[in-house]
Amino acid sequence: MAPWHRTAAFMWSTLAFLLCFAFAFAADPGPEHAISYFDNAPTRLFFFDDTTSVIYHDAIFGEIHAAMFIEHPFDNRVAFVLTNSYTHYRTDNRGKSWRTFDTYYTKDGFASSPQLLLDDVSRCQFAHSTKDFKHDAHEDLIYCVAYDSSATIGSHNIASSRLYSSTDFFATKQNEDLGIGKNAKGVVVFAIVSKFAVVVLKDLTPGSEGDMLFYVTVNTKEWAKAHFPHTSQARLRENAYTIVESTVHSLAVDIVLQDLTTVGTLFVSNSNGTYFVESLTDTNRNIAGYVDYDTIYGVDGVGIANVIANAQDVERKMAAKQLRSVITFNDGSSWDPLVAPRGTCSSEPCSLHLHSVTDIHDNGPVFSSPAPGFAMGVGSVGKALAPYEESNTYMSTDAGLTWTLVREGACQYEFGDSGTVIVIVDDEQPTDSIMYSTDMGRTWNTYNVGIQFRAKRLTTVSDSTSQKFLLLGQVTRQSQQPNEGRNAAIYLDFATLGRRKCGPNDKESWYARASTKSECIMGAKQWYTRRKANADCYMGEKFHDPEVHDDTCPCEEHDYECDYNYVRSDGKCVPVGPERIPSTQCTLGTPDEKYMGSSGYRKIPGNRCQGGSRMDKPVSKDCSGAEPLEGAVVHQIHPFSSDIVQSAYFRDSKTVLVRLADFTIWQSSNEGYTWEQKFPEERFLAFYMHTHSNERAYLITDSNKFFYTTDTGRYWHSAEAPLPPNTFGAQVLRFQTKSDYLIWIGNADCESGYNCRAQAQYTRNNGRNWRLVEDYVVNCDWARDEELRIDSSQILCESYADKKGSQVFFGKDNALQLVSGTDYYATKTKLFDHVAGFTKFSEFLVVAEYLPMRGTLNLQVSLDGQTFASGNFPPGMHPDSHAYTVLDSSTKSIFLHMTMNEFPTPWGNMLKSNSNGTYFGLSIENVNRNNEGFVDFEKFAGLDGIAMVNVVSNPAEAALTGRKALQTKITHNDGGTWKPLLPPSVDSLGVKYPCKSAGCALHVHGYTERVDARATYSSPSVVGVVMAVGNVGDSLATYTESDTFLSRDGGFTWEEVHKDAHLWKFGDSGSIIVIVNDEEPTDHVLFTTDEGLTWREFKFTTEKIRVRDIVTVPEDTSRKFMLLGRYPATTSSVIVHLDFSPLTHKNVSLVDNETPGHDDFELWSPSEERDSLCLFGRQTLYHRRKRDVNCVVGDTPKALDNIVRNCTCTLEDFECEFNYVRNGEGKCVLVPGTTPRPPDDSCRNGEDYWYERTPYHKVLYSTCEGGDRIDRGTKHLCPGINGHSKIFWTMVILLPFEITALVAWWWYKGRISKGAARLPGGNYSRGSGSGVMGTLASVPWFLLGLAGIAVKYRDSNRESVWMGHRERRGYRDVPVDEDAQVVYFEDEE
């Protein structure tokens, strides 16, 4: 131990320790003080809990360098010193002696030999390591974040980082799967915070942007994913979130919503940490991740935070922050400004603002201490926080409710003896004194310590119960003592003030959050016993933490949460479906039988309220409403007084909205089982679901008022729009990937009528503040989209050039311009003088430019929102003479329908673009279109590149008669080729189809005939399964003469599953399919659990209804459906809720994501009738439920699509080049009167060769390799480095080294007999010293010479050689005759 006492870790046990040093007594009555001097300032000062023993950590002095001190959380005698080596130290007697230990684990505080715990560990923690994390797990349960040594992707790859647990010190270990199985990998953080254990994972799923996933447990048994209210914006990104100090009731997390900013948003969770709500926006944080948020010690629910008042300017212009302080008394549910001291405000608004965590000037809690109710801070009064050096010191004795000015200027502060002594010291400049108060800050005394010093830290024992303080400072040069260091530790003892010990009459009960409106948190009021302000005594309860007392409160609504199988809807708990009841109840079978069921509420765990409102009391319910026995179907019928005009689900939710023709909106939070009218006093014109945030929706009234939700309708909030909704046909709301960013288009000055116009305004905080974008607009939208990743501040607006008068009367003579505005439309750029419109598809921005001189249209395409390229079209198909519809762009190309025959029988040609949307080639002719511009074209969900169209097979006749004969075609290579649908051989009754002609095929009704555009052929949850209504024959029959068909292989083969036309809907990932008659009113539905092999009927009513639509959750993963319909001959509507959940309680067997195909799921791959199952040049295996397995899939995670290998290229992987079309034989031929595109010899991608064009090019989405490359013509060598063989470049590289070796050998044999060796072109004399060292030294210059030539090439080609591998291969363009110059250059040096 000899070296240890020479370290800079010094222990002070009591006053006797300090009395070993020189001390001076104050002349005036006051505290006693003593001064000790040290050479270096402490890295850390650490008090043992409930003792006066303190460790002074000097990281510079001594032979042992301590990296950190760790105090034992439960035993105040034990502490550990960790060093930078393998040897560390422990004490079990508060620092009187120390023993060494090495890094492993111990069960006796390293008193015995430690044991190895686990290899490759980044963090380990006992589950019982904190007092608040209470559970009944094994006492030795340990969690460790460690790397999986068996991982094949690299033992220290993030994907191999997992959370392990053990109860036997890892003699055996368990992988904590967090409820998500083998996907629980990529663990970044494990922490125990308050009563929660938190795990943060990196999302490693394909397509993820590296977001972090947040999992929480309160009992070590069940882990749950934390949900944030708007996931598209509140994304947990690495190094962009902070778990701040949390209460025992909830977790608090601050998240950076914008890139590269220090502006956050605070979210607070529910009681089990799984659902977060937005608590406070624009919170201040620094680059290190510290957040200006601190709770008041010992007082539940009270916290102080700083917000950025000018957050928009900070993010946009990097402006200096204007900080304002706010306080919460209810755990973040609401926030208010800090009340300024009386008489300090001279203007409005005015409040108190305090410096906080990001600008901390002392250690420990920022504002408070264990002294009950006391808080202090440095700040200013006004509109925003002043700099620290311009601030004053303030104090509160009621946990932040009110504040008083303590002293002008910034001070450090500390509380002692449970608040009976308060000490402050100047924190702006050197001083020789401190100030103290013994009456809660009403009066202050000054005490001189005898030296001038600059205060560094003021502290006392950790529970603030002692009258002794320790002040650390740096002594000024004038006060420095001979042979003493300049770092002083000033000991202050206020026990010498001569005060008596407090008695019972000197104390009072102080209630936390004492206010005119008394608040209860978790069912209790908190109160402490503390000394009265005017009592001249000391508490003397050293090392006794303030005892909190709880007065239970009567139970109120906020003391309850929703029970299991209930969800909150607008503040009320409603059932998600019929309640499952014990088998002992509802056994009689009588119509009026009752059972005692859940009220829908339960008391929040840990809540202590008593009496009052008993919301969790069981209630009597009809047995008829309970969940039936297995095999039955549940239904509920809900009539409405008016027709249904709009309906939509929140994605990833069970909540659905419905708008009626009578301007009312209804909400169901349980998939249509029960309904509630929202805000009956309002008239609603529309509602919008946020396109980028699944949890948000907006209800638009006929006034400036609108309602919004950020939590899928659990709560709705009202807000004011800048204008009433527009009546010009423009979409009222536009959304962006940053979900708080909105654009509102409303009517301006339309009451008078003279200057009536559509005006656009934007907000960046979800409608709290609005700013003008533009007047006289037709459409405004954010330029940025999910895949169009451009400037998030860019706004695009179509607006009229002449901005005068009433927009109602504007015509084509007033040009409609397209203007781009960056910096939120502050910097405008006119993109086009005259447009017909614009749209965004995938990564493309498409603009229809109007050319008024010719009265035609021109298509412009952009990938960055700034630069545009005109589309090139085949002859006779340019948009200057035709209407067009942009269809799709999900496979790196744009599909465009060009109308070739107009009203009343429109149809046209479908074109497909190249990767940047500039060249369009013909994909298929005569595709059907209706008069509204909709086209019979639809891609299959989950299978890219497969689509169906209906074509007009009799264009000449149809142009004259108006009667179209439609035929269905399908493509399996993204429009490269089209084929008829292969008809089934027999119908659903087993009767053979009378197919006699060669043109006999299956034809199906398409998009143009649908009432609801969302009723698609396929579902993303059932890959490859497709349904349609049609017929087998030469052409498509009428809808009422059609039947219902199904395909299980992506449209390659089909089967008739039922006679007559039906609506259909997939549920539970295809484990159930529901169909209903679509030809006439009905009283029943048909359903199948084996994808159409067998059908069962369920009758839901005795009064038939005309069903218009079947609706379920957008993901098609639920077993609950809604029928939307109406009773015949009435104006009322009806919704029928159908629940097929009781059909079976058998869950699908757990999917093994590592080896799929060995459970209730099968592996399936679409093919193009090749020997190998390939589509788009690759074999992809999809995972889906086996057809004959009757089970519930639910939310079971499925294996990811697996690309097994790329396939050999075949004809299916190619399509016609620009200006080529397929002839009757299926070959691509040049369109008469056109010329082929010129060859591309740029070799821009570093190829060795370039090829002349052929009539074909490879489908962009195909990844095939080798085979017959019919897209490649004559082969040509690329110029430059890549144009030479490997042998050539090997010789060029090795030649100088070979020459060097030869010269060295020659020199070794006796040097050159006739002069020094030199390379061709040199003019060296004999005495130049060109010996072996000179020759060898020249070798590196050869490489420099090559680089020099490359730089010349770079400059001539304006291409950098330092931009990556592709550009470095630019050496290929060094001319052959310069090779000798390279060697010559080397030799001259």
Contacts of residue 826, Cβ cutoff 8 Å, sequence gap at least 6: none
Nearest-10 Cα torsion for 1027, 1031, 1034, 1037: -110
pLDDT top residue among 395 and 1321:
395
Task: Assign 3-class secondary structure to 42-105.
Answer: CCEEEECCCCCCEEEEECCCCCCCEEEEEECCCCCCCEEEEECCCEEEEECCCCCCCEEEECCE
pLDDT of residue 1374: 28
pLDDT greater than 70 at residue 1178 = yes
d(CA 1087, CA 1106): 18
Contacts of residue 845, Cβ cutoff 8 Å, sequence gap at least 6: 783, 788, 796, 838, 839, 861, 862, 863, 865
Answer yes or no: are the C-beta atoms of 898 and 911 closer than 8 Å.
Answer: yes
CA 937 to chain centre: 33
**Residue 1074, beta-bridge partner list:** 1065, 1087
Q: Retrieve residue 188's tokens.
A: 């970044």
Average pLDDT over residues 1032-1051: 93
pLDDT greater than 80 at residue 753 = no
Q: Which of 28-42, 214-228, 575-589, 678-692 has the weakest average pLDDT?
A: 575-589
Q: How confident is the model at residue 881 (pLDDT cuts 50, 70, 90)?
A: low
pLDDT greater than 50 at residue 541 = yes
Strand runs labelled E in 606-751: 619-622, 634-640, 644-649, 656-660, 665-668, 676-678, 684-689, 697-701, 705-709, 717-720, 733-735, 742-748
Q: How confident is the model at residue 1382 (pLDDT cuts 50, 70, 90)?
A: very low
What's the full length of the chain, in residues? 1389
State in Å, rounded, how far the first CA of the chain is from the last one: 64
Average pLDDT over residues 813-841: 91
pLDDT of residue 734: 95
Q: Select from 530, 331, 362 the least CA-distant residue to 455.
A: 362
What percent of the chain has pLDDT above 90? 30
pLDDT greater than 80 at residue 1078 = yes
Calculate the alpha carbon distances from 599 to 275, 289, 391, 594, 1021 in Å: 22, 44, 54, 14, 35
Q: How confident is the model at residue 1338 (pLDDT cuts 50, 70, 90)?
A: very low
Answer yes or no: are the C-beta atoms of 895 and 887 closer than 8 Å.
Answer: yes
Q: Which of 487-491, 1148-1152, 1280-1284 has the weakest average pLDDT?
A: 1280-1284
pLDDT greater than 60 at residue 1282 = no
- Residue 799's SS3 state is strand
Q: Are strands 1275-1277 and 1249-1251 parallel, antiparallel or unpaired?
A: antiparallel
Q: Retrieve residue 807's tokens.
A: 């927009």
Q: Which of 76-90, 727-741, 1058-1072 has the weakest average pLDDT?
A: 76-90
Average pLDDT over residues 321-325: 93
pLDDT top residue among 260 and 610:
610
pLDDT in tens, 644-658: 999 999 988 889 999
d(CA 599, CA 575): 10
pLDDT of residue 101: 62
pLDDT of residue 1385: 28
CA 1249 to chain centre: 44
Q: How confident is the model at residue 1167 (pLDDT cuts 50, 70, 90)?
A: low
pLDDT in tens, 863-879: 888 888 887 777 767 66
pLDDT of residue 1367: 30
Q: Retrieve residue 1152's tokens.
A: 């093994």
Q: How confident is the model at residue 1364 (pLDDT cuts 50, 70, 90)?
A: very low
Q: What is the DSSP letter of 555?
A: B
Q: Retrieve residue 527's tokens.
A: 């109160």
pLDDT greater than 50 at residue 1277 = yes
pLDDT greater than 60 at residue 1324 = no
Q: What is the mean pLDDT of the chain?
A: 79
CA 380 to chain centre: 37
Q: How confident is the model at residue 230 (pLDDT cuts 50, 70, 90)?
A: very low
φ and ψ at 624, to 5 degrees?
-65, -20
Q: Retrieve residue 167's tokens.
A: 């109860």
pLDDT top residue among 481 and 1343:
481
pLDDT of residue 525: 84
**Best-predicted range by mean pLDDT (50-59, 1049-1058, 1203-1212):** 1049-1058
Q: How confident is the model at residue 747 (pLDDT cuts 50, 70, 90)?
A: very high
Question: At residue 1016, what is the residue type?
Answer: T
pLDDT of residue 1083: 93
Average pLDDT over residues 1220-1228: 84
φ and ψ at 1162, to 5 degrees?
-125, 160
pLDDT in tens, 443-464: 999 999 989 999 988 988 877 8
Contacts of residue 1299, Cβ cutoff 8 Å, sequence gap at least 6: 1319, 1383
Instruction: Render 289-331 in DSSP notation, one character per residue.
Output: S-BSEEEPTTSTT-EEEEEETTHHHHHHH-PPP-EEEEEESST
Answer yes or no: are the C-beta atoms of 526 and 550 closer than 8 Å.
Answer: yes
Q: How confident is the model at residue 584 (pLDDT cuts 50, 70, 90)?
A: low
pLDDT of residue 1336: 29
Q: Which of 216-225, 246-255, 284-293, 1158-1167 has the weakest average pLDDT?
A: 1158-1167
Average pLDDT over residues 1351-1374: 30
pLDDT top residue among 193 and 77:
193
pLDDT greater than 70 at residue 116 = yes
Contacts of residue 1010, Cβ cutoff 8 Å, sequence gap at least 6: none
Average pLDDT over residues 729-750: 93
Question: At residue 562, what is the residue type?
Answer: C
Calculate the alpha carbon distances from 889 to 209, 238, 938, 1015, 1175 in Å: 21, 32, 12, 20, 18
Q: Are strands 1106-1111 and 1120-1126 parallel, antiparallel or unpaired?
A: antiparallel
Q: How confident is the model at residue 396 (pLDDT cuts 50, 70, 90)?
A: very high
Q: How confident is the model at residue 1322 (pLDDT cuts 50, 70, 90)?
A: very low
Strand runs labelled E in 1068-1189: 1072-1077, 1084-1088, 1096-1099, 1106-1111, 1120-1126, 1133-1139, 1161-1164, 1178-1185
Q: Are strands 1161-1164 and 1178-1185 parallel, antiparallel or unpaired?
A: antiparallel
2: left (phi over 0), alpha (psi -120 to 50) or beta: alpha
pLDDT in tens, 1005-1016: 998 888 776 778
Q: For the chain, what percentages of helix, strand and coil (3-state, to nearest 5) are there?
A: 10, 40, 50
Which residue is associated with the tokens 């429009």? 975
Average pLDDT over residues 1040-1055: 92
Cβ neighbours around 735 below 10 Å, total: 23
In the sheet with 524-531, reading across from the earlier edge strand, the strands are: 507-511, 524-531, 549-552
pLDDT of residue 307: 93
pLDDT of residue 1197: 62
pLDDT in tens, 603-622: 876 678 889 989 989 898 88
pLDDT greater than 70 at residue 1239 = yes
Q: How confident is the model at residue 1189 (pLDDT cuts 50, 70, 90)?
A: confident
d(CA 679, CA 696): 17
Helices 1339-1357, 1286-1308: crossing angle, 10 deg rounding: 150
Q: What is the DSSP letter of 130?
A: S
d(CA 4, CA 347): 60
pLDDT greater than 60 at residue 1076 = yes
Q: Select from 548, 500, 502 the least CA-distant residue to 524.
A: 548
Q: Retrieve residue 687's tokens.
A: 């509602």
pLDDT greater than 60 at residue 1366 = no
φ and ψ at 647, to 5 degrees?
-150, 145
Strand runs labelled E in 465-586: 468-475, 487-493, 500-501, 507-511, 524-531, 537-538, 549-552, 560-562, 566-569, 572-575
pLDDT of residue 110: 61
pLDDT in tens, 1096-1135: 999 998 889 999 999 999 888 899 999 999 988 888 899 9
Task: Assign 3-class secondary structure to 210-224.
Answer: CEEEEEEECCCCCCE
Cβ neighbours around 652 below 10 Å, total: 14
pLDDT of residue 1152: 54
